[in-house]
């Protein structure tokens, strides 16, 4: 699997594992995605000025690209349109719209 470029990112998530509605973590938009675009994608006013941060998006991207290097070649087709890898305290998954890693109860996902 190829590494993700910053320009490909539509949003990122970083937080605790489990529900990813935003109650356990934070969704971030990179500056090349407008608040209006982000809100239109989710269907409600989920984002405001505080939601935009290239720094937070790049931190998530760095974690994901390291995970791609480490687990990407180990992932297998789960038959549901995504590839997954399960290791000790690690879940790694990617599809054509996101890449996610969950390690010891902390989740990071990059959406494109």
| Whether 52 contacts 36, CB under 8 Å | no
Give 58-112 pLDDT, tens digit per residue. Answer: 999 999 999 999 999 999 999 999 999 999 999 999 999 999 999 999 999 999 9
Cβ of 84: how many Cβ atoms within 10 Å?
18
What is the rounded distance in angstroms from the CA atom of residue 110 to the CA atom of residue 112? 7
What are the sequence ranges of the domains in the chain?
7-111
In sequence order, which residues have a C-beta less than 8 Å from that of residue 33 and are 6 or more positions away? 9, 10, 11, 52
In sequence order, which residues have a C-beta less than 8 Å from that of residue 91 and are 6 or more positions away? 84, 85, 100, 101, 102, 103
């Amino acid at each position: 699997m190829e590494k993700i470029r910053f320009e490909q990112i539509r949003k990122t998530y970083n937080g605790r594992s489990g529900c990813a509605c935003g109650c356990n973590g934070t969704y971030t938009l990179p500056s090349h995605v407008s608040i209006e675009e982000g809100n239109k994608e989710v269907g409600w006013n989920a984002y405001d000025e505080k939601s935009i941060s290239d720094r937070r998006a790049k931190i998530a991207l760095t974690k994901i690209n390291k995970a791609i290097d480490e687990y990407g070649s180990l992932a297998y087709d789960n038959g549901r349109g995504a590839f997954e890898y399960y290791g000790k305290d690690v879940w790694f998954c990617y599809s054509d719209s996101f890449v996610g890693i969950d390690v010891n109860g902390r989740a990071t996902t990059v959406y494109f």
